[in-house]
Chain A
Amino acid sequence: MSLADIFHAIQSTGWATDIRESALVYPVIMSLHLSAIAFFGGMILLTNLRLLGLAMTETPVSDVVKQLRPWKLAGLALILTCGILLASSKADTYYPNPYFRIKMLLLTLTGVHALVFRRSVYRNTAAMDSGRAVPGKAKLAACLSLCLWLGILSMGRWIAYYEAPKPAAASAQSAGSQ
């Protein structure tokens, strides 16, 4: 069973079919996906801007990071859930879509990012409080996080603009007629 078969099996499930065929459920899930990006994705941006010393400098780093953490995690769970439902409902067209693949790669990299920087940066914010400068490593983590999330957002938008190439049979036919 290939990965394409698995994607096809997902799209063929009853719930994925229901989402795809509903005039209301699909846009509602998409609206929830975007709402969560607006509310909680914005908090991710803000946290990174704080680490870079560009926003909320009056508020200690640990106050920003610790107090927003549960909300960003809950938001991420909502974004992922909605995203999985949306992609599942159109899994056949998502599978070959290069922008979807890049988006999944970047999502995986955010996991790597968390593994690399969690202990030294995000769970170590007390060291950055009381007026001390944010260390370079934390700023690097913030920069990378901003790039990853903006990349994921962009690829998400670009998924809608990918046009699959014409089926191989058709192009072979046109080549043969020349």
Chain B
Amino acid sequence: MLAYDPATNPLNNNEWAFPLTECFHLAAMALSIGTIAVVDLRLLGLGMRRQSSAQLVRNTELWTLAGLAIVITSGLLIFSSDPVHYLNNGPFQFKMAVLLLGIVYNYTVHRKVACSEAPAARGVLAGGFSILLWLSLVFSGIFIAFV
């Protein structure tokens, strides 16, 4: 029988392991969301206006991807510390839906608008929606611990 007992997970048996994993999760969160936000500022016409949004995407995409890889890996580790708890947690379910939507959105619509000569109004919509998505991701992440 395939049984998984979270009590055997090193994250639950080492004083340092869990908070350290969380630190990686938060730093990588800042890296991925912060780099996307730079493009969003440009799309909204609020910052980095000396560069084109296409150039900013090109300049940040590697770090966005690195951040996403670390934030998802550390997130899976945190999830593994207590899977049943997370699966039954409303904010966690919402967060996973937003994460999926956010990643798909970032690499399709967001990227397409940023890399094209789209009219400013479309950029504002695409950047605004992006900020809203990542903001709701952070909020739902915090609320996992408060329900």
Cα–Cα, bound, A164→B131 (Å): 39
The reply to whether B34 and A43 contact each other, CB–CB distance below 8 Å, is yes
Closest residue of chain B to A45 (Cβ to Cβ) is B31
> Which among B2-10, B42-50, B81-89, B117-125 touches the partner chain?
B42-50
Mask: chain A, 135-152; 1 = CB below 8 Å from B; 0 = not: 000000000000000100
A27 at the interface (CB under 8 A from B): yes
Task: Among B33, B56, B58, B146, point to the contact of A42 (Cβ < 8 A).
Answer: B33
The reply to whether B143 and A31 contact each other, CB–CB distance below 8 Å, is yes
Q: What bracket does the count of chain B residues touching chain A fall in?
A: 35 or more
Closest residue of chain B to A58 (Cβ to Cβ) is B59
* Chain B residues in 8 Å Cβ range of A58: 55, 58-59
Task: Among B15, B41, B50, B63, point to the contact of A55 (Cβ < 8 A).
Answer: B63
The reply to whether B142 and A31 contact each other, CB–CB distance below 8 Å, is yes
**Which residues between 28 and 84 of chain A lie within 8 Å of chain B, taking CB atoms?**
28, 30-31, 34-35, 37-46, 49, 55-59, 63, 67-68, 70-71
Closest residue of chain A to B33 (Cβ to Cβ) is A38
The reply to whether B142 and A42 contact each other, CB–CB distance below 8 Å, is no
The reply to whether B60 and A55 contact each other, CB–CB distance below 8 Å, is yes
* Chain A residues in 8 Å Cβ range of B50: 63, 67
Closest residue of chain A to B66 (Cβ to Cβ) is A55
A: residues with CB less than 8 A from B are 23, 26-28, 30-31, 34-35, 37-46, 49, 55-59, 63, 67-68, 70-71, 150, 153-154, 157-158, 160-161
